[in-house]
């Protein structure tokens, strides 16, 4: 019996290894597309990617895989839940079922609509005119709804789309969490606005040599624990990270002479993603388990390093003297405390990707609400800009000047991909939830960071998060690592304390 069992699992793992190789080859082509590919390569690259991804999908959803899963589920019924074997069977089953539920024509139609949506969105954004994009968005909403119907759901169509990116999470759970955030953050944002003068960040715009910024950022992420024997840094318009294999987890960054934050914090963010990939267990390589538990959990790792570590006082106590020696002119007369305050400036702004820690989640809440209303037919396409602007005013206190800085700013609605945005907020919340447990387990964490020692911290994340890859759903992972499912409380406590102190808010207002 034991021989038969290992034979079937061996067969499944051979198929999964092929699927993984095809997907990883596609990742490398995508990386190249965003970094070095000449403009003329667009058409050929789209064809290559489509071929590779189609082959991977066909292989994963084949009858052969279905039969192997049926047998293996029986044979491994008593295997420990967290064993590699039981987890490979369980997670492959989830991917297989979802893949089989979506008809090939629907996938093709969605891919086509996405490629048509991109130029419509670009033109509309360029002209700041939502009406140019309305028809494409209408089509995308319809396709999102058909995908939700094909996948199936109990209560709300969004459940199906959310479950695809954040397995096990429901719209209702998330709506309750967002509501809690709204109650806490809207007054905090208003309070900070009344004390806006407390933080001055003018020195961040004083001019920083780009080459020096790049080498400084690379040195910092190396010292955090990003392994350059198994990674590299390149330039791209939009920074991203790519986990191609355990030996190859890359980051890209961008650099601006006129604004310091972009290169360093962008590099730390992407290195946080890539350190996650570098820490995944060897036993799950070339299986569906070798990936982040979800986009939200992946984002928790980048936000953890970027904000909870990189924007902390102990971090700058360690790094500021060396930064100042690299940029003596731009940082003349600026002390460590002033610099720490500057990189934490909070101010409502129109563009999500530029938003600070406090205001960021409000941008996501707004999109979560609108996606749900569109999907359920409660909001007409033509009314999107008005709904956007009204909510923006109520959550962040700003009057949106035009659609470019409003409903048209993100690329996400140009393709068929509702359900992705919440991952950004989940990432923020999870980073604080993990940090709360890290502090309990490593009481001298701040002293270690002040000394520039990050190995114990990285070791904790490796053991509790990284090594598991996709073995667990987000809530299973959080229960194991922190004893609780996803909660907004640690994050709310963290921003109230940090920004209350930064802006000199009263305890009542801040607490
Ligand atoms: Zn990220």
Q: Is residue 166 part of a domain?
A: no
> Phi/psi class of residue 152: alpha, beta or left (left: φ > 0; alpha: ψ in -120 to 50)?
left
In tens, the pLDDT along 144-196 reads 999 999 999 999 999 999 999 999 999 999 999 999 999 999 999 999 999 99
How far is the centre of ligand 1, averaged over its atoms, from the C-alpha of 273 (Å)?
7
Q: What is the pTM of this model?
A: 0.95
pLDDT at residue 115 in the model = 82
What mean pLDDT is reported for the chain?
95
Q: How many CB atoms lie within 10 A of CB 404?
A: 18
How far is the centre of ligand 1, averaged over its atoms, from the C-alpha of 283 (Å)?
26
- pLDDT-derived band at 5, boundaries 50, 70, 90: low
Q: Is residue 486 part of a domain?
A: yes
Tokens 């891919």 locate to 111
From 98, 133, 161, the end of a domain falls on: 161
The answer, yes or no, to whether residue 111 has pLDDT greater than 90, is no
Q: Is residue 511 part of a domain?
A: no
Q: Is residue 309 part of a domain?
A: yes
Percent of the chain, pLDDT > 70? 98
In tens, the pLDDT along 245-300 reads 999 999 999 999 999 999 999 999 999 999 999 999 989 999 999 999 999 999 99
- pLDDT-derived band at 116, boundaries 50, 70, 90: confident
Same structural domain for residues 12 and 123? yes
**Which of 27, 11, 170, 4 has its CA nearest to residue 88?**
11
In tens, the pLDDT along 69-84 reads 999 999 999 999 999 9
How far is the centre of ligand 1, averaged over its atoms, from the C-alpha of 431 (Å)?
12
How far is the centre of ligand 1, averaged over its atoms, from the C-alpha of 75 (Å)?
38
Residue 98, classified by CB atoms within 10 Å of its CB into exposed (0-12), middle (13-18) or buried (19+), is middle
Same structural domain for residues 370 and 428? yes
Point out the residues that are catalytic. Answer: 270
How far is the centre of ligand 1, averaged over its atoms, from the C-alpha of 76 (Å)?
35
pLDDT at residue 103 in the model = 87
Based on C-alpha coordinates, what's the Rg of the chain?
23
pLDDT at residue 510 in the model = 44
How far is the centre of ligand 1, averaged over its atoms, from the C-alpha of 342 (Å)?
22
Total domains in the fold of the chain: 2
Same structural domain for residues 34 and 84? yes
The answer, yes or no, to whether residue 506 has pLDDT greater than 80, is no
Q: Is residue 2 part of a domain?
A: no
How far is the centre of ligand 1, averaged over its atoms, from the C-alpha of 462 (Å)?
18
**Which of 160, 32, 181, 163 has its CA nearest to residue 106?**
160
pLDDT at residue 343 in the model = 98
Q: Is residue 141 part of a domain?
A: yes
- pLDDT-derived band at 39, boundaries 50, 70, 90: confident
Tell me what the mean pLDDT of segment 15-32 comes to. 96
| 229: CB partners within 8 A, 6+ apart | none
pLDDT at residue 136 in the model = 95
The answer, yes or no, to whether residue 397 has pLDDT greater than 50, is yes
Tell me what the mean pLDDT of segment 447-463 comes to. 98
Range of the domain at 339: 171-502
The answer, yes or no, to whether residue 443 has pLDDT greater than 50, is yes
From 126, 161, 196, the end of a domain falls on: 161
In tens, the pLDDT along 419-438 reads 999 999 999 999 999 999 99
In tens, the pLDDT along 327-373 reads 999 999 999 999 999 999 999 999 998 899 999 999 999 999 999 99
The answer, yes or no, to whether residue 304 has pLDDT greater than 80, is yes
Q: Is residue 268 part of a domain?
A: yes
Q: Domain holding 322: CATH number?
A: 1.10.1370.30
The answer, yes or no, to whether residue 509 has pLDDT greater than 90, is no
pLDDT at residue 511 in the model = 41
The answer, yes or no, to whether residue 1 has pLDDT greater than 60, is no
How far is the centre of ligand 1, averaged over its atoms, from the C-alpha of 258 (Å)?
23
pLDDT at residue 507 in the model = 60
């Amino acid at each position: 019996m034991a021989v038969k069992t290992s034979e079937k699992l061996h067969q499944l793992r051979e198929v999964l290894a092929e699927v993984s190789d095809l997907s990883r080859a596609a990742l490398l082509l995508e990386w190249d597309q965003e970094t070095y590919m000449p403009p003329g390569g667009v058409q050929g690259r789209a064809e290559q990617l489509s071929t590779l991804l189609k082959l991977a999908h066909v292989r994963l959803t084949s009858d052969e895989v279905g039969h192997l899963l049926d047998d293996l589920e029986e044979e491994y019924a008593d295997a420990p839940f967290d064993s590699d074997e039981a987890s490979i069977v369980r997670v492959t089953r989830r991917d297989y079922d979802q893949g089989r539920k979506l008809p090939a024509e629907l996938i093709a139609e969605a891919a086509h609509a996405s490629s048509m949506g991109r130029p419509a969105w670009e033109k509309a954004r360029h002209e700041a005119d939502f009406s140019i994009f309305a028809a494409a968005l209408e089509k995308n909403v319809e396709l999102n709804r058909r995908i939700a119907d094909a996948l199936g759901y109990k209560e709300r169509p969004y459940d199906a789309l959310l479950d695809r990116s954040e397995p096990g999470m429901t719209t209702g759970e998330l709506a309750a969490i967002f509501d809690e955030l709204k109650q806490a953050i809207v007054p905090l944002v208003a309070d900070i606005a009344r004390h806006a003068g407390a933080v001055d960040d003018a020195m961040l715009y004083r001019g920083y040599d780009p080459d020096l910024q790049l080498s400084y950022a690379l040195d910092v992420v190396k010292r955090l624990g990003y392994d350059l024997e198994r990674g590299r840094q390149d330039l791209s318009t939009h920074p991203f990270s790519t986990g191609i294999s355990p030996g190859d987890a890359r980051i890209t960054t961008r650099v601006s002479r006129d604004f310091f934050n972009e290169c360093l914090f962008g590099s730390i963010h992407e290195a946080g993603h890539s350190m996650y990939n570098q820490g995944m267990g060897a036993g799950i390589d070339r299986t569906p388990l070798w990936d982040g538990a979800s986009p939200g959990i992946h984002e928790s790792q980048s936000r953890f390093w970027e904000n909870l570590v990189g924007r902390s006082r102990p971090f700058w106590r360690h790094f500021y003297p060396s930064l100042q020696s690299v940029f003596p002119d731009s940082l003349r007369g600026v002390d460590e405390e002033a610099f720490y305050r500057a990189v934490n400036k909070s101010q409502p702004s129109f563009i999500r990707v530029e938003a600070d820690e406090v205001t960021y989640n409000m941008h996501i809440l707004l999109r979560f609400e609108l996606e749900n209303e569109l999907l359920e037919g409660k909001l007409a396409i033509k009314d999107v800009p008005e709904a956007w602007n009204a909510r923006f005013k109520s959550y962040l206190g700003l009057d949106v000047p035009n659609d470019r800085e409003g409903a048209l700013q993100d690329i996400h609605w140009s393709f068929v991909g509702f359900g992705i945005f919440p991952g950004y907020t989940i990432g923020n919340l999870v980073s604080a939830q993990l940090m709360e447990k890290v502090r309990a387990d490593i009481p001298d964490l701040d002293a270690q960071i002040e000394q520039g020692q990050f190995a114990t911290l990285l070791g904790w994340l490796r053991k509790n998060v990284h090594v598991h890859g996709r073995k667990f759903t987000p809530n299973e992972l959080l229960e194991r690592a922190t004893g609780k499912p996803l909660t907004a409380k640690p994050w709310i406590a963290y921003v109230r304390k940090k920004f209350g102190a930064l802006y000199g808010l009263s305890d009542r207002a801040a607490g």
